[in-house]
A and B are shown apart, each in its own frame.
Chain A
């Protein structure tokens, strides 16, 4: 029998704009987590910021990122932030055309820092691949996303999956 993957844990489609989306009470049942977003925002072209377990400790979040804008390439390694950026030129806009797929590996382990891989995609702005580290050994029980400008747009979808 085929073992199902991408076990659905939670999903929301916004019926009104929202400044923050939080997945909480995440059980330690799975090996990895995958968060899939499609949507946009109500303000200027914007990034999505991700926080784990409401931790806003400066320097706990670091990452390495690369992007293509359609005409140029960029790479950088931001550190010292109190959140992760899961988009980098894969900006949200005032439509529902951006998507972001984030994978959190070994999220419930208590003997390692947590890492994530993000792919953000905007066919009108650019796209990125990001690898990040959360310098904390606590199991991840909540994930929050905020947006750098305006709010998440009506119709935006957020879906969390567990991978055994």
Chain B
């Protein structure tokens, strides 16, 4: 896994983080995120993942728990979570996203693990399955806040994973 780019939000916040001109040099992509918004919400806010700026042909299913209940839903986007700006000070949600075969000519499937943190009060822990049903290679990834801006010190790091052979392991 090789580091491609890290973006850290500066003073004043930002509506989104964008990784652009992603090369087709790898097999899979990994994104690690630490996010908080500027809203007054004391819980969490939805964050959207948009391959190539897409807002259509997106679907996802999720399983989540809030500390007191578990539930599942399906949506027509690919989402995960950030701490709301009204949650415990200095806390950020963290998320890990895995996108296999991002440059292939198949539809792009996405695996997401996302948790918020709120000092033992209500928070969300979620796993999500996403799909961008397009055969175009992913060359950019937008991370967009559904409410307010991404707060200062929010960060996202993009990594590339290259599959291959070590010459020892046999595959049949």
Contact = CB atoms under 8 A, between A and B. Distances in A.
Interface of B is mostly: strand
A143 to B, nearest CB: 10
Given A121-B109, A127-B61, A127-B63, A36 B100 contact: yes
A124 to B, nearest CB: 7
Contacts of A24: 169-172
A142 B130 CA distance: 30
Contact of A99 (B100, B165, B170, B171): B100
Nearest to B112: A121
Interface of A is mostly: strand
Interface in B33-61: 59-61
Contacts, number: 154
A8 B166 CA distance: 6
Which of A72, A96, A98 has most chain B Cβ within 10 Å?
Answer: A96
Size class of the contact patch on chain A? 35 or more
Interface string A12-50: 100000000111111100000000111000000000000
Which of A7, A73, A121, A125 has most chain B Cβ within 10 Å?
Answer: A121
Size class of the contact patch on chain B? 35 or more
B71 A73 contact: yes
A25 B165 CA distance: 12
27 contacts: A6-B162, A10-B169, A23-B170, A25-B168, A25-B169, A36-B28, A36-B161, A38-B100, A38-B109, A68-B62, A68-B72, A69-B72, A71-B72, A73-B63, A73-B70, A73-B71, A73-B72, A96-B106, A96-B107, A97-B106, A101-B98, A121-B110, A127-B127, A129-B127, A159-B163, A161-B161, A161-B163
6 nearest A-B pairs in the assembled complex, by CB-CB distance? A68-B63, A68-B72, A121-B129, A123-B131, A70-B74, A8-B164
